[in-house]
């Protein structure tokens, strides 16, 4: 299959039609028209076979996840998804695989209203995907990692550790009941980017980040950027029943703290905004829980029922 046939058959003309796309796929550049009073939020992620996903990962799940992890970055900034580009590198153009991959990609694109406006295809020894997403956020309202202050409360959405355990189930280093196995692997394959929650946090959260590399690593980015420390009450970490039923409590907490790829939101909120937070996130339809507080130090302190706690693992590092 030739390059342009591949593009036309599996990607061109699919996904949501947005009025702000002036000129999409089919030229040297795409043309878009940002909304007045909005700033652009742009993020790029690359997924490499053998590094970020197994060679036998279902193509439909891979297509969905390739976009979902990028949308999570927009969620962490409080941005509305708008446009994306896709750089697709493959050893060969397998029609059945491309059909499933593009179906998964556009499942996410249709749901979150993001239009594919261009990209590139090339041959490669292994499968690789680079997606660049563009979002819009009201000027001056974007969430960042830089605003946490002493006394702010630390929150997370959803449950933590499920994706990392799902990965270990796929690797064969953990076992669990069949019903839990299906749920946990699905959590790894199909993360839910908290796009609406991120938008609901604008004007309320003092800082935010998505949990891609593990809570310890990602909270560390907020602490470094904001010049503060934090106390985390490990007993308050939100754990799914599937996680608690599958491993010991210490291991469950380690997964929650360092496992990564949950793509939940971690954010800080001043005391004065806690009441408004309850209302905002209830409208966003997502569960959230307070897990700690920002302090004047420069270190992250983990405590389990008042005692120092050290997790078994470390967060993901790219190099």
In whole angstroms, give the CA distance from residue 232 to residue 285: 25
Flag whether 218 is marked binding: no
Flag whether 210 is marked binding: yes
Q: Total structural domains in the chain?
A: 2
183-240 residue pLDDT tens: 999 999 999 999 999 999 999 999 999 999 999 999 999 999 999 999 999 999 999 9
Residue 17: how many CB atoms within 10 A of its CB? 8
What is the sign of the dihedral through the CA atoms of 140, 142, 145 and 147?
positive
Examine the fold and report which residue of 138, 164, 184 is the final residue of a domain before the chain moves on. Answer: 138
Query: Residue 202 maps to which CATH number?
Result: 3.90.650.10
In whole angstroms, give the CA distance from residue 15 to residue 26: 15
- Please check whether residue 303 lies inside any domain of the structure: yes
Q: Are 100 and 188 within one domain? A: no
Q: Are 85 and 165 within one domain? A: no
Please give the distance of CA 153 from its chain centroid, rounded to a whole number.
Answer: 21
98-128 residue pLDDT tens: 999 999 999 999 999 999 998 888 999 999 9
Flag whether 56 is marked binding: no
Give CA separation, 174 vs 56, 88, 305, in Å.
Answer: 19, 32, 27
pLDDT at 31 over 90: no
- Please check whether residue 9 lies inside any domain of the structure: yes
- Please check whether residue 314 lies inside any domain of the structure: no
- Please check whether residue 197 lies inside any domain of the structure: yes
Q: Are 205 and 298 within one domain? A: yes
- Please check whether residue 316 lies inside any domain of the structure: no
Flag whether 60 is marked binding: no
Examine the fold and report which residue of 106, 138, 170 is the final residue of a domain before the chain moves on. Answer: 138
Domain extent, residue 204, equals 153-308
Say what the pTM is: 0.91
Flag whether 45 is marked binding: yes
Q: Which helix (H) or strand (E) holds 252?
A: helix 249-258
Flag whether 13 is marked binding: no
Flag whether 261 is marked binding: yes
Q: Are 203 and 120 within one domain? A: no
Flag whether 4 is marked binding: no
- Please check whether residue 7 lies inside any domain of the structure: yes
- Please check whether residue 145 lies inside any domain of the structure: no
Rounded to 5 degrees, φ, ψ at 302 are -105, 130
- Please check whether residue 30 lies inside any domain of the structure: yes
pLDDT at 29: 81
């Amino acid at each position: 299959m030739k390059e342009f046939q591949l593009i036309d058959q599996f990607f061109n003309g699919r996904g949501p039609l947005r009025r702000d796309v002036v000129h999409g796929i089919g030229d040297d550049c795409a043309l878009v028209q940002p909304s007045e009073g909005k700033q652009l939020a742009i993020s790029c992620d690359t997924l490499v076979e053998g590094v970020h996903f197994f060679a036998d990962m279902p193509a439909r799940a891979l297509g969905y996840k390739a976009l979902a992890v990028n949308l999570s970055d927009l969620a962490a900034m409080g941005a509305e998804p708008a446009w994306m580009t896709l750089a697709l590198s493959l050893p060969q153009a397998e029609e059945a695989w491309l059909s499933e991959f593009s179906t998964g990609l556009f499942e996410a694109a249709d749901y979150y209203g993001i239009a594919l406006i261009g990209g590139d295809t090339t041959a490669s020894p292994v499968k690789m995907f680079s997606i660049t997403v563009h979002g819009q956020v009201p000027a001056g309202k974007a969430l960042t990692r830089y605003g946490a202050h002493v006394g702010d409360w630390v929150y997370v959405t959803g449950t933590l550790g499920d994706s990392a355990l799902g990965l270990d189930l796929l690797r064969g280093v953990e076992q669990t009941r069949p019903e839990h196995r299906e749920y946990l692997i699905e959590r790894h394959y199909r993360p839910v980017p908290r796009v609406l929650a991120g938008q609901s946090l604008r004007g309320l959260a003092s800082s935010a980040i998505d949990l891609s590399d593990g809570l310890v690593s990602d909270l560390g980015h907020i602490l470094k950027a904001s010049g503060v420390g934090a106390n985390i009450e490990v007993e308050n970490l939100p754990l799914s029943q599937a996680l608690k039923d599958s491993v010991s409590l210490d291991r469950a907490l380690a997964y929650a703290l360092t496992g990564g790829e949950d793509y939940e939101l971690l954010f800080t909120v001043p005391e004065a905004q806690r009441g408004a937070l309850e209302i905002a996130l209830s409208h966003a339809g997502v569960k959230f829980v307070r897990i700690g507080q920002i302090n004047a130090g420069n270190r992250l302190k983990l405590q389990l029922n008042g005692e120092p706690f050290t997790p078994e693992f470390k967060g993901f590092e790219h190099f």
